[in-house]
Structure formats: C-alpha cells, structure tokens
C-alpha cells in the first residue's frame, strides 16, 4: 500500500499507521538520503524474520541499524571514544559504520554475527519514522535483486536500485510504502569499518571520506 507524503511535513496519521505496522512485525519502504530502504522495528522478531526472508535468510548480509542519534546505538554496539568522534563528525549523513555488536544483537536477529552496521541518516522521512516508532529500525537497501548480498558486494550496484516508490510494489512482504512522489537518486552509502586501529573504507559511496 502506497501512502503519498510530503517528506518534510508527514501526516501524523500516516506516521502512526506506519509505526503501528512495524510494532506488529510489518515492513515499511521509505526514501532515505541515498536510496530506497525497507525497515522494521529493531525490537520486532517478526519484522526481522521478514527482513531476513527478503535477503534469502541473510546468511552473509548484515542489516543496518537506523538511528536518529548516537545514544540509540549503545544497547546494540560497543563504541569507543575514537569511534564516537568519527561517527559524530560524519553524521547525520550517507554513511554506514561497522562496529562490534553486543551479544544482544545475536539474540535480536538470530544471526551469529558480532558486527553491526550503524547509520544515522540525514533525511526527514527516516528520522520521522524512528521518532514515531520510538526506537531504531533495522533496515536493508531495496534493490531489484533482493538476494543474499553483503553491503560490500560489487554485485550490489547502483543500477539495481529503485528510482520511484511505486516500483517497490513488486517486492512481496512490504506493508506500506511512504512515497514523496519524486524520483530518488540511485546512490549508495559509504561504508566504513571502525573495528580496527585504522578506518577501513569498505565501499566508496555518496559520503566523502579522506581519513
């Protein structure tokens, strides 16, 4: 179901329906500051299961945790002071930061992985959804090939992304599409691995990074 919105002034009733759907395990497709994403409530095991289904069980894929501020990440990932400074300097913006996940992450997702991607986007729709939901969201990039791909895979190219919201109706399992009506650029985030002594650029995307 498509709900047409004004991204900078979303109808509260639409936001409430979207948030309630996510609390009940639903998936919401929405624009971001890069490309279209599909998200669920981070506390919803049913929503996470549906998101994993879109990624063919997500054997290699790591979902990104969308948050509106760094403090929302502390229950999911370990953040050192140097890592905090980097994230604070680059956010909000088109970046995903790979961090060491706490054991709670494994329990939440049912995936035996000790890494998690963190993103604090710079777009009004994602932030409005997080605020209406009252918690961060697990999210994946919407693409024509919704199979088991990691965010660093070269096959996960920009040409596989969607431009218009109505195109996402071809993806089964989505409960609502929030569509501003305008085409969205087919761009990807810059992915930075912060787990080592030095920052490793896993993927160059929209966000610039020079170290």
pLDDT per 10-residue tile (average), the chain, 211 residues = 95 97 97 95 92 67 86 88 95 95 67 82 96 95 63 58 92 94 91 93 91 72
Q: What is the structure's pLDDT at 16?
A: 97
The whole-angstrom separation of Cα 173 and Cα 206 is 28
Contact by Cβ (8 Å): 175, 189:
no
Q: Helices H, strands E: what count in the chain?
A: 5, 10
Specify the number of domains making up the chain. 1
Contact by Cβ (8 Å): 33, 121:
yes
8-state DSSP, 102: P
Domain that residue 72 falls in:
2-203
Q: What is the structure's pLDDT at 63?
A: 76
HEC profile of 147-189: CCCCCCCCCCCHHHECCCHHHHHHCCCCCEEEECCCCCCCCCC
Q: What is the structure's pLDDT at 83?
A: 95
Within a domain: 210: no
Cα three-residue angle 92-107-76, rounded to 5 degrees? 25
Within a domain: 111: yes
Q: What is the structure's pLDDT at 151?
A: 44
Q: What is the CATH number of the domain that holds 118?
A: 3.90.870.10
Within a domain: 23: yes
Within a domain: 133: yes
20: nearest Cα among 48, 40, 45 = 40
Q: What is the structure's pLDDT at 20?
A: 97
Sequence-distant contacts of 106-114: CB under 8 A, at least 24 apart: 108/42, 108/43, 108/45, 108/48, 108/76, 109/48, 109/52, 109/63, 109/138, 110/45, 110/48, 110/49, 110/52, 111/52, 111/58, 111/62, 113/62
Within a domain: 186: yes
Sheet containing 95-100: give its strands across: 2-4, 176-179, 28-30, 37-41, 137-141, 64-66, 115-119, 95-100, 190-193, 200-203
> Cis (ω within 30 of 0) for the bond into 92?
yes
Within a domain: 153: yes
Q: What is the structure's pLDDT at 148?
A: 41
Within a domain: 11: yes
Q: What is the structure's pLDDT at 104?
A: 63
Within a domain: 208: no
């Amino acid at each position: 179901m498509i709900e047409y919105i004004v991204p900078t002034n979303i109808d509260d009733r639409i936001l409430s329906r979207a948030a309630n759907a996510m609390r009940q395990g639903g998936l919401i497709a929405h624009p971001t500051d890069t490309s279209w994403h599909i998200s669920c409530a981070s506390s919803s095991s049913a929503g996470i299961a549906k998101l994993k289904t879109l990624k063919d069980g997500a054997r290699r894929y790591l979902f990104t945790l969308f948050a509106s501020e760094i403090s929302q990440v502390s229950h999911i990932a370990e953040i050192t002071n140097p890592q905090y400074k980097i994230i604070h300097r680059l956010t909000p913006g088109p970046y995903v930061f790979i961090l060491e996940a706490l054991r709670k992450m494994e329990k939440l997702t049912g995936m035996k992985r000790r890494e998690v991607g963190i993103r604090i986007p710079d777009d009004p729709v994602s932030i409005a959804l997080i605020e209406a939901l009252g918690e961060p969201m697990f999210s994946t990039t919407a693409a024509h090939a919704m199979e088991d791909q990691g965010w660093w895979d070269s096959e996960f190219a920009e040409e596989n992304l969607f431009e218009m919201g109505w195109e996402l109706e071809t993806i089964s399992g989505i409960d609502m599409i929030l569509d501003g009506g305008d085409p969205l650029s087919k761009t990807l985030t810059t992915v930075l691995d912060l787990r080592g002594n030095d920052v490793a650029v896993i993927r160059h995307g929209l966000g610039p990074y020079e170290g």
